[in-house]
Amino acid sequence: MNNGIRAYAPASVSNVACGFDIMGFAIDQPGDTVTVRLTPNPGVHIRSVSGIPCSLPMDGTRNTAAAPVIALLKHCKTRMGAEIDIHKGIPVSGGIGSSAASAVAAAIACNALLDLGMSKHELLPFAIEGEKIASEAVHVDNLAPSLLGGFCLIRGYDPIDIVPVRAPRQLWCTILHPHMEINTRESRKLLPRSVPLADVIRQTGNAAGLIAGLLQEDFGLISRSLHDVVAEPVRKHLIPGFEPMKDAALSAGALGCGISGSGPSLFALSTSEQTANAVGMAMGSVLTSLRHGWSVVVSGINQTGARIIPANNDEPA
Amino acid sequence: MNNGIRAYAPASVSNVACGFDIMGFAIDQPGDTVTVRLTPNPGVHIRSVSGIPCSLPMDGTRNTAAAPVIALLKHCKTRMGAEIDIHKGIPVSGGIGSSAASAVAAAIACNALLDLGMSKHELLPFAIEGEKIASEAVHVDNLAPSLLGGFCLIRGYDPIDIVPVRAPRQLWCTILHPHMEINTRESRKLLPRSVPLADVIRQTGNAAGLIAGLLQEDFGLISRSLHDVVAEPVRKHLIPGFEPMKDAALSAGALGCGISGSGPSLFALSTSEQTANAVGMAMGSVLTSLRHGWSVVVSGINQTGARIIPANNDEPA
């Protein structure tokens, strides 16, 4: 037995309005912390789940943190097993990459525990094993930013082609979390099977515009590009007060606002922490007026991604 | 009467594979040269068309060079008219922005002739009047680069939002022109009315990837992004030898290859003039083996767009 290795992986916003299934970025907090310990007997067990209350499967084959560990142990051909402690900082089914962060943190911790020396890019396929449990198809637009930090473009899926995209340092993110859950699988069923050509042109123009805005540090262009004509029109109806919340965010000075992942959380991007706070309050007021519970997080963009937490550091984040 | 003002506008490649209706870039040559002279009587007349043989309408209301002049004269509320000489360097219906270049050159020349002092961005709506004659819907993915030079992203059309995108200086373009014509309106009729969601994700990923590749000077990423899953699958059948020409271009070292605009020309991008020449020869050999006529142009990316040609300069390009 040993003390195990602990890793932190940040929450992330996928889709980013115009980048359906191809864009994501990581935020500094919240995040999930996963500790992995080797055991002499084979098998991977979830020893504990703490933090935000949730009902994650404790079964190793159905838990997003366990799957990467199982895959890495198999890769090493070791006969040892592992036990896992999960500290959830990210609400499950909230739309900010909860399952991805647990999978990433587990992969990062296990890589260090087994002294594999794999790069983050090399660990991606193992982290994907966790995400496969949460979603029918493989999506890496939460995994990639949680692992690598910053903004990530997923240029293609066959093979997976992740492009880190430099973003202006002064961007701040507001996450408004309405107190409800949306199941990712159910939310995907709402998506259109095909998109009118005129909307394809809008979406490609905006996705390309967002990349140009980030790389050229053009906040006006970022703002003009943050529109989603593919998923938002069908998914927004699942979220109470979506339209007035979005209007409130923009009125309070946000560059743009949309559904984070498959929801129900909304994200907004702003050019200062002060504006990001005001945006959160403006959005929350809408939900309060609807007598709907909510919480808000204001965070900078996480630039470094998942990381090992030294053993003497008791604070997960 | 007066000597008139002469302007040159370069050919351009629109769509650029993954950027259907949202991307274009200008090439140094060929280009169209348009001379505009004021006349004491109202009305706009085409006095001559020289250069590459073609059958352009001489009627001022149906000619792409005349329409911007009519619009600018109207804007000035002058009672004078104008006569226009057009020197075509760009083949009509070749797919490299022939109508756009004539409209742009006419607008640039007329702006100087009338001493209006408009910026290029201010002239765009007048140049669009010319493009409207050539195409049912307004497209500016040839107009914008011909006017401004370089790579242009058309982020949106409502309102028109043109984003100049810095591109690596070492890019070279090969244009392979099979000796045939494709009518833009007919070619647009082939387009799908809607696109499967999986293809929308591919197209947005590639469009965003191309922008990131250009701005981050990542030639591998540019190469991986130059794929079109929207227009090429239906339009390639109009072009004899398209697939083997594309294969030949890639084998000869091109970063990517696709249909230029609505065709029939193909474009390829390379990282040197030498490679761009080899790419042209490789593509041409395919058409020769099919006993089909062709011509080739190898050009750098035009960085400055349309320009006035001083009166003492007899050479149009």
pLDDT tens digits for range A266-311: 999 999 999 999 999 999 999 999 999 999 999 999 999 999 998 7
Q: What is the pLDDT of residues B110-144, one digit of tens each?
A: 999 999 999 999 999 999 998 888 776 788 999 99
CA dihedral A225, A90, A112, A131 (to 10 degrees): -70
Burial of B119: CB neighbours in 10 Å, binned 0-12, 13-18, 19+ = exposed
pLDDT score of B317 more than 60: no
Question: Measured between CB atoms, does A165 come within 8 Å of chain B?
Answer: yes
Q: Which amino acid is at B76?
A: C
pLDDT score of B309 more than 60: yes
Contact assignment for A194 to B194 by CB distance below 8 Å: yes
Report the C-alpha gap between A42 and A107 in whole angstroms.
18
Instruction: Using DSSP, state whether B314 is helix, strand or coil.
Output: coil
Per-residue confidence (pLDDT) for residue A1, from 0 to 100 = 46
Which domains are delineated in chain A?
A: 5-165+302-309 (3.30.230.10), 172-300 (3.30.70.890)
Per-residue confidence (pLDDT) for residue A133, from 0 to 100 = 80
Report the C-alpha gap between B220 and A96 in whole angstroms.
31
Per-residue confidence (pLDDT) for residue A317, from 0 to 100 = 42
Taking CA–CA distances from A231, the nearest residue in chain B reads B197
pLDDT score of A139 more than 90: no
Alpha helices in chain A, H assignment, sequence order: 66-76, 98-113, 120-134, 143-148, 184-189, 197-215, 219-225, 232-235, 242-251, 273-289
- When pLDDT is averaged across residues B190-209 and rounded to a whole number, the result is 97
Measured N-to-C along each axis, helices A197-215 and B197-215 cross at an angle, to the nearest 10 degrees, of: 30
Query: What is the residue-wise DSSP string for B164-233?
Result: EE---TT-EEEEEEESS---HHHHHHTS-SEEEHHHHHHHHHHHHHHHHHHHTT-HHHHHHH---SSSHH
Per-residue confidence (pLDDT) for residue A209, from 0 to 100 = 98
Q: How many CB pairs under 8 A join A and B?
A: 136
Per-residue confidence (pLDDT) for residue A137, from 0 to 100 = 73
Q: Sort out which chain A residues have CB atoms less than 8 A from B155's CB and list them.
A: 205-206, 208-209, 212, 221, 224-225
- When pLDDT is averaged across residues B216-244 and rounded to a whole number, the result is 97
- Per the model's pLDDT, the better-predicted residue between A202 and B186 turns out to be A202
Taking CA atoms, A175 is separated from A26, A259, A293, in Å, by 12, 10, 14
Instruction: Using DSSP, state whether B139 is helix, strand or coil.
Output: coil
Q: How many residues does chain A have?
A: 317
pTM, whole model, 2 decimals? 0.95
pLDDT score of A214 more than 90: yes
Average pLDDT, chain B: 93
pLDDT score of A185 more than 90: no
Report the C-alpha gap between B133 and B61 in whole angstroms.
8
Instruction: Using DSSP, state whether A59 is helix, strand or coil.
Output: coil
pLDDT score of A57 more than 90: no
Q: What is the pLDDT of residues A114-125, one digit of tens each?
A: 999 999 999 999
Angle at Cα A39 formed by Cα A2 and Cα A58, nearest 5°?
A: 115
Encoded tokens for B309: 């040609």
User: Are the C-beta atoms of residues B26 and B105 closer than 8 Å to each other?
Assistant: no
Contact assignment for A208 to B153 by CB distance below 8 Å: yes
User: Are the C-beta atoms of residues B282 and B249 closer than 8 Å to each other?
Assistant: yes
Question: Measured between CB atoms, does B215 come within 8 Å of chain A?
Answer: yes
pLDDT score of B185 more than 90: no
Report the C-alpha gap between B228 and B246 in whole angstroms.
13
Position B53 confidence tier, pLDDT thresholds 50, 70, 90: confident
Complex-level ipTM: 0.95
Q: Minimal CA–CA distance to A32: which of A89, A83, A110, A85?
A: A89
Per-residue confidence (pLDDT) for residue A53, from 0 to 100 = 83
Average pLDDT, chain A: 93
Question: Measured between CB atoms, does B208 come within 8 Å of chain A?
Answer: yes
Instruction: Using DSSP, state whether A93 is helix, strand or coil.
Output: coil
Instruction: Using DSSP, state whether A174 is helix, strand or coil.
Output: strand
Closest Cβ opposite residue A19 in set B22, B196, B208: B208
Q: What is the pLDDT of residues B243-276, one digit of tens each?
A: 999 999 999 999 999 999 999 999 999 999 999 9
Report the C-alpha gap between B129 and B143 in whole angstroms.
11
pLDDT score of B56 more than 50: yes
Closest Cβ opposite residue A225 in set B20, B155, B200: B155
Contact assignment for B153 to A205 by CB distance below 8 Å: yes
- When pLDDT is averaged across residues B210-239 and rounded to a whole number, the result is 97
Per-residue confidence (pLDDT) for residue A147, from 0 to 100 = 98
- Per the model's pLDDT, the better-predicted residue between A164 and A57 turns out to be A164
DSSP A238: G
Per-residue confidence (pLDDT) for residue A58, from 0 to 100 = 76
Q: Å from B84 to nearest chain A CA?
A: 35
- The pairing of strands B44-51 and B81-88 is parallel
Contact assignment for B200 to A200 by CB distance below 8 Å: yes
pLDDT score of A128 more than 60: yes
The answer, yes or no, to whether the previous bond of B178 is cis (omega within 30 of 0) is no
- Per the model's pLDDT, the better-predicted residue between B154 and A312 turns out to be B154
Taking CA–CA distances from B206, the nearest residue in chain A reads A155
Q: Å from A16 to nearest chain B CA?
A: 13
Q: Sort out which chain B residues have CB atoms less than 8 A from A155's CB and list them.
A: 205-206, 208-209, 212, 221, 224-225
Report the C-alpha gap between A253 and A269 in whole angstroms.
9
Distance from the Cα of residue B94 to its chain's centroid: 10
- When pLDDT is averaged across residues A182-189 and rounded to a whole number, the result is 79
Per-residue confidence (pLDDT) for residue A313, from 0 to 100 = 55
DSSP B301: B
Question: Measured between CB atoms, does B74 come within 8 Å of chain A?
Answer: no
Q: What is the pLDDT of residues A232-245, one digit of tens each?
A: 999 999 999 999 99
| Interfacial A residues in 19-58 facing B (CB < 8 Å) | 19-23
Angle at Cα B160 formed by Cα B155 and Cα B165, nearest 5°?
A: 40
Report the C-alpha gap between A210 and A216 in whole angstroms.
10
pLDDT score of B1 more than 50: no
